[in-house]
Every structure is written in C-alpha cells, then in structure tokens.
Amino acid sequence: MAATASVGDPGGGERSVPPVTLRSVQQYKSQDEYVVVMKEDLAEWMNELYETTMTADDLFDKLETGILLCRYACTVDDAIQSCAEPVVYRKRDVVPGSFQARVNVAAFLTWCRRSPLLLPDDLLFETSDLICPRTAERNERQVALCLLEVGRRSAALKVGLPAPQLVRLEAEIDAEIRADDDSSQDCRKDSLDEDESVSSSSNSPPSPGDCCAPRRTIRAPRVIVNNDADEPSIPTDSTNSERRGSVWQRRRYRPIIPVDMMSLDEMVSPSLSLSLSLSLSLCLSSSRLSMLQRCKR
C-alpha cells in the first residue's frame, strides 16, 4: 500500500514525498529492540521531510542542536496558518551540547505544549534527555515516543504533512479493526432481521391452502404425580402385626444380651431363687393343711 504526500519547502515550493513501503510487523523481545525500530522510523521520516541522510545511529546526534525540531514546528505553524507567536530559534553555528542548543530544544518543547498539539507533560521529554555529555545517558525511548506523538498529531491536522511509518501502520490496523467491527454488526443485524421475519411468518394467519392440509396434533405427555412419593410404603401385614404385638415386633425390640457379658453365677442364681421360693411355699401350704386337720378333729 502506497501513500504520497506533499511537504512545504522552505524555498517556497512543494515537493512530493516518496511512497511508503510497509515493512513486516513483528514482535520484539525487549524494549531496546523496539527503540532501535523507532529510531530507524524517525530517521526515515526526517529524511522524507528535509532530504537529509540520517540513520538510526546518528539521529539524536543531529537532533541534539534543536534546529530540525524547531524547523518542523515552524513548518506546522505555516501550514495551519497559526496566529500564535512564532518559534524563535538559532539556525546556524549551534554546537551540540551548548547553551544555545538547549535553548532551541526548550523552544520546541514549549511549542509542543501549546495549540494545536497540546501534548501533556508525560509524553514530552526533558532537555537533558536529548542533550547529554554522554550518549549512554540519553533517554532515547522517551524522546522517540515524543517525536512519534508529534508526528501523529501533526498528521491529524490534515495539512499535507506525512506521519512516521509506524503511525501510518497503526492507522491502517485501526481502520481494519473498525471495518471488522462494522461487518460483525451488520451480520448481527441481518440475523436479527431474519429472526423477526421468521417469527412474523409464524404468527401470521394460515392461508386457505394450509387449511386443507391435515393437521397433526401433538399430545402433551401424560405425567402421573404420586403425592405419596416422599412417604415410605409400609405393607399392611406389618402394620397389623405391629398393632397386635406380633412376633416380628417382639423380635425387633427384644434386647439381645450376649452370653459372654454374663457370668455363670448370674445365669444360675435366678433359677436357684425360684426353686427355693417354690419349696418354701409348698412347705407352708403343707403345714397349714396339717393344722386345719388337727383343728377339725
């Protein structure tokens, strides 16, 4: 997919930007790899804008003076015909890391905060993130993210300024997602319309031809409800036998004492007491009879 845009040339004319060649989108294992990709994309973006020969290695070295950043800000203001104060910066003889370089970068950051971009502070970078005595101390990730957001918001103004390639890829992905969502909503709407048409046809009165056709009636299933399902079924014989005090009931409620829990003395003592009581009663009865016989005589 190719896109061509025109950029305002400071010389007074317009020049065409070469078409965009989309590279394959892949996942990166670390943030350092993604920072390298952002630097390459920003270098290509600056080369398209100002016909420079930047690479990912010397991108921030050439942006450190702030000249190209302020130049881009003036290009956006001229394109939208802004009435705000112009960006004042030094265009020549700016040494990287000098005080004038810091002034240029600070002027660019001030322009980013005001209209039309209105970038919040969490998206901006500090002057020391770009201008450092040591290259290893730069906050390259924050600077790259800020410049990508500047390119995104500037392209949204639709004044002929191209956006970085990563921003264009994001826009294409968002467009595809919206198209998929619209198609899914259309499919759901069609399915709902079909359901409504089917329901309306089922509720409509039958035609004369349908009246002549034999109708099939579907009977409801016969369900037998047993109200006594929760109560246990008890046979009549057992109830009658329980009422009469049957053998089954006596066996059921008869205490069972194991033999090993009783000693032999306990088993024999009841029988001895019974025999003694019988013998005593017999002796008393015999003595009484003898006394009565004597009295009668």
What confidence tens digit (pLDDT) does each residue in 52-110 have?
999 999 999 999 999 999 999 999 999 998 888 899 999 999 999 999 999 999 999 99
pLDDT reported for residue 271: 54
C-beta separation of 54 from 62 below 8 A: yes
Residue 239 pLDDT more than 60?
A: no
Average pLDDT over every residue of 250-276 = 52
Instruction: Report the share of the chain in percent with pLDDT over 70.
Output: 56
With beta carbons less than 8 A apart as the criterion, state whether 15 and 6 touch: yes
CATH superfamily name and code, 41-175: Calponin-like domain (1.10.418.10)
Residue located via tokens 């016969």: 222
CA dist., res. 189 & res. 200, Å (int): 16
pLDDT of residue 259: 47
Q: Report residue 284's pLDDT band, with 50, 70 and 90 as the boundaries.
A: low
- Is the model's pLDDT at 219 over the cut of 50? yes
* Residue 193 predicted with pLDDT over 90: no
